[in-house]
Amino acid sequence: MWQQREITLRARPRGFHLITSEIVDQLPELRQIQVGLLHLFILHTSASLTINENADPDVRTDMETFLNRIAPESGVPIVHTIEGPDDMPAHVKASLMGASLAIPISGGQLRLGTWQGIYLCEHRNRGGNRRLVATIHGQVAS
């Protein structure tokens, strides 16, 4: 089975946000897949996706801190400033983190590790709703 749909994530403030349950809730067809793969692709250039620690929220805070040191909003010469001082650093951060994820599906569930969760990495101060293309490929349980 192949299935593809666009899903929308509600607007969030800048930072790293655990969205695993929001993804699963919007993709009830995952429960039908015995073995397969979920591919997520974000349709934006100033936000990204990653998988990381799902238990301690301090990890999300620290991820934001580290990326702000790598791509600061001031103190470096930036040419692309038309959309504000947070835009170009957001593009750099999104390129570093990535636009897509591939997650195994086993027995109708995402096969994430015990401490793993899917993050939306919002790199803009006010990024708005974010859209993802979710592609499910797998063998339907009989």
Find, among 17, 80, 70, the residue nearest to 47 by Cα.
17
Mean pLDDT along residues 88-99 = 97
Phi and psi angles of residue 94, each rounded to the nearest 5 degrees, phi first? -65, -40
Q: What are the tens digits of pLDDT across the range 53-69?
A: 999 999 999 999 999 99
pTM of the model: 0.95
4-38 per-position pLDDT tens digit: 999 999 999 999 999 999 999 999 999 999 999 99
- For residues 142 and 134, give the distance between their C-alpha atoms in angstroms, rounded to a whole number: 23
Domain count along the chain? 1
Q: Reduce the DSSP state of residue 107 to 3 states and report it.
A: coil
DSSP 16-65: EEE-HHHHHHH-GGGGGEEEEEEEEEE--SSEEEEEEESS-HHHHHHHHH
**Domain CATH for 32:** 2.60.120.460
For residue 64, the model assigns a pLDDT of: 96
Domain span at residue 136 reads: 2-140
Mean pLDDT on 119-132:
96
Distance CA 34, CA 84 (A): 46
Sheet of strand 47-53, all strands in order from the earlier edge strand to the far edge: 13-18, 116-126, 47-53
Q: Are strands 109-110 and 13-18 parallel, antiparallel or unpaired?
A: unpaired
